[in-house]
Amino acid sequence: MRPSLLDPLFAALTTLPGVGPKLEKLYRRLLGRGDTPARVADLLFHLPAGTVDRRARPKLAEVVPGSVATVAVTVDKHRPSPPNRPRAPYRIETHDDTGTLTLTYFNARKDYLETLLPPGELRYVSGTTALYDGMLQMVHPDRVVSEADLDKLPLVEPVYPLTEGLSLNQVRRAMDGALTKIPALPEWQDNAWAERSGFSSFADALKTLHRPNEPADVQPDGPAWLRLAYDELLAGQLALALVRAHQRSLPGRGSSGEGILRAKVIAALPYALTPSQGLAVDDIVTDLARPQRMLRLLQGDVGSGKTVVALLAAATVAEAGRQAALMAPTEILARPPLATIAPLAEKAGIRAAILTGRERGKDRNETLERLALGEIDLIVGTHALFQEDVAFHDLALAIIDEQHRFGVHQRLALARKGESVDMLVLTATPIPRTLVLTYFGDMEISELREKPAGRQPIDTRTIALNRLNEVVEAVGRALNEGQRAYWVCPLVEESEISDLAAAEQRFAELKTHFGARVDLVHGKMKGADKDRAMARFSSGETQLLVATTVIEVGVDVPAATVMVIEHAERFGLAQLHQLRGRIGRGTGRSTCLLLYKAPLGETAKARLAIMRDTEDGFRIAEEDLRLRGEGDLLGTKQSGVPGFRVARIEVHGKMLTAARDDAALILSRDPDLASPRGEALRDLLYLFERDEAVRLLRAG
Ligand code: ADP
Ligand code: MG
């Protein structure tokens, strides 16, 4: 259980003044909580994107129009909007001994302004200045105070990322409340290291960031942010190290054999393994034969052929009379691997089956029974695999496809279904080596570097959206030649509903051009409907498939040769790469059209240029990381890599190695986190919600 000391931080956000249930919904969106209630800690970890610096105190004659300034002015005259033009602005004239300034308000309340700015009085007014008709003015000053309240005027104010419906002042006010909830926490960082790094305490770091004295206080590479980022990285590395230690502490069981089943699978392949597939299989076979647990990451670009490697791993444990499970994050992603596996498995005499949320009733019961009796060697499925009533005869190998969508605890949940379960994680999103450490800790890594033979290069082009008509014509020509095309609709917001609306609208439009040849597939469709739509497209019954990003991974229609991505600039590079990987799978030449909304910023231009220049997923991933360092915040959320709350890999990634070494040192001295510092580190784990690792401590 979480220490009660931390309760105030995990209290509902509605416990803060000014946050009612209605606003709380907006905070959920802002803080990325989805449908779960936002908590005080979530808000505290919402760090400023910058500051407003009100320290400049020029005379009116010295004001640089366009800058933020705090000026001391005497109020002269109110000029309310004329009664016949209530939409006209309300103006207030002011002056100092060097010049004049007009304060402009829209939709103003007269009585409010008269109290705020009484004629004849001195007021300190702070806001963004502008020149209008040659006159200095300020539209809606941010702050107006009297001489007596001058010390209450915050000279440097944090600016937060917002969401529609929430104002900066509301967030600031809620944050003030949140800051008062931070309990006195014992220090979990090594004191000497903290001192050397210029770190203040956790609470002080948060206060510095939310109540900055200088703009530099909120810099991601400033000491306050560094401290919190290091806390988060350490929590992550500690959790991974604990999981790893736990897994090592459990004995493994060697699964080996003569490789007869593997040989049968290989004989059934219509192609030869690539060299890196061969190496990966060797690595895995060696791991499986060892009495220690295997924890291996198989990284391979889209279409690099991870599934067959997974099948060969499963063949190895099947030959030892044991079972393997392959888990994909969603139903739609669970089917393609099975489609690859089923015919090969059948030829080799490996009994494969599927279990997802969609299998119900008699079929499901039968599968469960056969699984429990050991009559299934390899089960492919989704989360449904770790439901309580799923029992294996002897699960030896858990293969997790697209691991970045799963948390560590899900990995563990599957591992608990067997005794000494070896773990193979497949990731289709190429992750730069620096990041592997972050998400997977010290896993062994196998990489599939080459694409399988026979793949054609993809011709990628970028086209401005205002040339949509030409694109539609080009797609029409391709369809008339019998080609098949995907048309991916943009991420409008983070909400599936608005994505869907955009996709439906595009679908309707394209239908007017191409009629029944067009189909639509999206995430809100029922599984069976989705499958049917995919099957129609796969068979060629339909030729143009309008889709939301549900087709991102896993879909395999080798005949598809055209990919149109609308608003490509809104996607992360990794995601674009995944999407593009849906074509170029067959023998036909493929074309990818990246439609963007002009004008593009420099970073966006560079990102699309990379997509045009290379198909190497590893290079794209590295470049993505580099460019994100140049301020593309959107990329983080959309790339599909799990986000940190305060750490930014491009800024703080350098500290990862230190955090990993630190975690190792901590556990070597205090494996149960039982010392006083160990206790404090448990708080840290809870604070960053690495609870699953703490549970291991208790269990172990
Ligand atoms: P991913 O790594 O994206 O999961 P898959 O395992 O789905 O890739 O493989 C993509 C396609 O490539 C499949 O149709 C598979 O049969 C084929 N494939 C796999 N390995 C090879 C190979 N060595 N040579 C030719 N085709 C291969
Ligand atoms: Mg795959």
Q: Whose CA is nearest to atom 18 of ligand 1?
A: 305
Which residues partner with 459 through β-bridges? 591
Nearest ligand, measured from the Cα of 329: 2
Could you tell me if residue 413 is inside a domain? yes
pLDDT of residue 406: 52
Is ligand 1 within 6 A of the CB of residue 300?
yes
Is ligand 1 within 6 A of the CB of residue 273?
yes
Q: Whose CA is nearest to atom 26 of ligand 1?
A: 452
How many C-beta neighbours within 10 Å does residue 67 have? 12
Q: Whose CA is nearest to atom 14 of ligand 1?
A: 340
**Higher-confidence residue: 414 or 185?**
185
Could you tell me if residue 603 is inside a domain? yes
Residues 561 and 505 in one domain: yes
CA distance 204 to 370: 58
For residues 41 and 10, is the Cβ–Cβ distance under 8 A?
Answer: yes
Among 415, 448, 481, residue at a domain's last position: 448
Could you tell me if residue 405 is inside a domain? yes
CA distance 107 to 85: 11
Q: Which atom of ligand 1 approaches the CA of 306 most closely? A: 2
Residues 41 and 60 in one domain: no
CA angle, corner 14, sides to 8 and 18, nearest 5? 115
Residues 522 and 377 in one domain: no
DSSP string, 376-423: -SEEEESGGGGSTT---SSEEEEEEESGGGS-HHHHHHHHTTSSS-EE
What do you get for the CA distance between the two ends of the chain, in Å?
16
Calculate mean pLDDT across residues 486-494: 71
Backbone torsion region of residue 373, taken as left when φ is above 0, otherwise alpha when ψ lies between -120 and 50, otherwise beta:
alpha
Residues 314 and 442 in one domain: yes
Return the minimum-mean-pLDDT range out of 5-14, 219-228, 337-346, 644-653. Answer: 644-653
Q: Are strands 395-401 and 422-427 parallel, antiparallel or unpaired?
A: parallel
Could you tell me if residue 432 is inside a domain? yes
Q: Whose CA is nearest to atom 12 of ligand 1?
A: 305
Residues 296 and 406 in one domain: yes
Q: Whose CA is nearest to atom 22 of ligand 1?
A: 452
For residues 379 and 352, is the Cβ–Cβ distance under 8 A?
Answer: yes
Residues 102 and 201 in one domain: no
CA distance 552 to 459: 19
How deeply is 676 buried, as exposed, middle or buried, from its count of CB atoms within 10 A (0-12, 13-18, 19+)? exposed
Residues 41 and 12 in one domain: yes
Q: Whose CA is nearest to atom 16 of ligand 1?
A: 340
Calculate mean pLDDT across residues 532-558: 83
How many C-beta neighbours within 10 Å does residue 117 have? 21
For residue 128, give the CATH number of its domain.
2.40.50.140
CA of 475 to the centre of ligand 1 (A): 27
Could you tell me if residue 22 is inside a domain? yes
Nearest ligand, measured from the Cα of 582: 1
CA of 336 to the centre of ligand 2 (A): 7
Sign of CA dihedral 448, 450, 451, 453: negative
Q: Which residues contact 602 (CB under 8 A, 6 or more apart)?
A: none
Could you tell me if residue 677 is inside a domain? yes
Return the minimum-mean-pLDDT range out of 91-100, 101-110, 615-624. Answer: 615-624
pLDDT of residue 25: 93
- Tens-digit pLDDT profile for residues 254-298: 777 789 999 999 999 999 999 999 999 999 999 999 887 888 889
Q: What is the DSSP letter of 11?
A: S
Q: Name the packing angle between helices 223-249 and 408-415 (round to 10°).
A: 10
Could you tell me if residue 616 is inside a domain? yes
Q: How far is CA 51 from CA 116, 166, 231, 299, in A?
A: 25, 18, 23, 41
Q: Which helix (H) or strand (E) holds 699?
A: helix 691-699
Among 448, 473, 496, residue at a domain's last position: 448
Query: Confidence class of residue 699 from pLDDT cuts 50, 70 and 90?
Result: very low
- Tens-digit pLDDT profile for residues 133-178: 889 999 999 999 999 999 989 899 999 998 888 989 899 999 999 9
Residues 36 and 117 in one domain: no
Could you tell me if residue 276 is inside a domain? yes
Query: Confidence class of residue 633 from pLDDT cuts 50, 70 and 90?
Result: very low
Residues 604 and 664 in one domain: no
Is ligand 1 within 6 A of the CB of residue 617?
no
pLDDT of residue 552: 55
Is ligand 1 within 6 A of the CB of residue 270?
no
Query: Confidence class of residue 429 from pLDDT cuts 50, 70 and 90?
Result: low
Nearest to 495 by CA among 534, 519, 524, 529: 524
CA of 303 to the centre of ligand 1 (A): 5
CA of 319 to the centre of ligand 1 (A): 23
Give percent of the chain above pLDDT 70: 88
Is ligand 1 within 6 A of the CB of residue 554?
no
Query: Confidence class of residue 466 from pLDDT cuts 50, 70 and 90?
Result: very high
Phi, psi of 454 (to 5 degrees): 90, -5
- Strand (E) positions, 523-676? 544-547, 560-565, 590-596
Q: Whose CA is nearest to atom 21 of ligand 1?
A: 452
Identify the domain containing residue 681 by its residue range.
Answer: 195-249+652-700
Is ligand 1 within 6 A of the CB of residue 586?
no
pLDDT of residue 178: 97
Is ligand 1 within 6 A of the CB of residue 308?
yes
Q: Are strands 50-53 and 68-79 parallel, antiparallel or unpaired?
A: unpaired
- Strand (E) positions, 428-550? 444-448, 458-464, 484-488, 518-521, 544-547
CA of 251 to the centre of ligand 2 (A): 30
> Residue 516 pLDDT more than 70?
yes
CA distance 237 to 440: 9
CA of 242 to the centre of ligand 1 (A): 35
Q: Whose CA is nearest to atom 19 of ligand 1?
A: 305
Query: Confidence class of residue 321 from pLDDT cuts 50, 70 and 90?
Result: very high
Q: How far is CA 485 from CA 8, 10, 219, 542, 553, in A?
A: 53, 48, 45, 10, 16
How many domains are contained in the chain?
5
Is ligand 1 within 6 A of the CB of residue 557?
no
pLDDT of residue 594: 97
> Residue 495 pLDDT more than 60?
no
Residues 590 and 489 in one domain: yes
- Tens-digit pLDDT profile for residues 328-351: 888 878 888 899 999 999 999 999
pLDDT of residue 260: 94
pLDDT of residue 493: 46
For residues 124 and 153, is the Cβ–Cβ distance under 8 A?
Answer: yes
pLDDT of residue 551: 66
Average pLDDT value for the chain = 87
- Tens-digit pLDDT profile for residues 63-87: 999 999 999 999 999 999 888 887 8
Residues 43 and 63 in one domain: no
**Higher-confidence residue: 555 or 338?**
338
For residue 352, give the CATH number of its domain.
3.40.50.300
Query: Confidence class of residue 36 from pLDDT cuts 50, 70 and 90?
Result: confident
Q: Whose CA is nearest to atom 15 of ligand 1?
A: 305
pLDDT of residue 450: 81
Give percent of the chain above pLDDT 90: 57
Query: Confidence class of residue 588 from pLDDT cuts 50, 70 and 90?
Result: confident
Is ligand 1 within 6 A of the CB of residue 278?
no
Q: Whose CA is nearest to atom 9 of ligand 1?
A: 305
pLDDT of residue 336: 85
- Tens-digit pLDDT profile for residues 362-400: 999 999 999 999 999 999 998 888 788 899 999 999 998
Amino acid, single-letter form, for residue 645: R
Q: What is the dihedral of CA 474, 477, 479, 485, to 10 degrees?
A: -20
pLDDT of residue 554: 54
> Residue 522 pLDDT more than 70?
yes
CA of 451 to the centre of ligand 2 (A): 13
What percent helix, strand, coil does the chain show, rounded to 5? 45, 20, 35
For residues 130 and 111, is the Cβ–Cβ distance under 8 A?
Answer: no
**Higher-confidence residue: 441 or 497?**
441
pLDDT of residue 34: 77
Q: Which atom of ligand 1 approaches the CA of 274 most closely? A: 23
**Higher-confidence residue: 622 or 669?**
669
pLDDT of residue 35: 80
Residues 120 and 168 in one domain: no
Q: Which residues contact 439 (CB under 8 A, 6 or more apart)?
A: 404, 431, 641, 642
CA of 284 to the centre of ligand 1 (A): 18
Q: Are strands 323-327 and 395-401 parallel, antiparallel or unpaired?
A: parallel
Q: Which residues contact 341 (CB under 8 A, 6 or more apart)?
A: 307, 311, 326, 352, 378, 380
CA of 331 to the centre of ligand 2 (A): 13
CA distance 415 to 173: 45
For residues 320 and 263, is the Cβ–Cβ distance under 8 A?
Answer: no
For residues 157 and 169, is the Cβ–Cβ distance under 8 A?
Answer: no
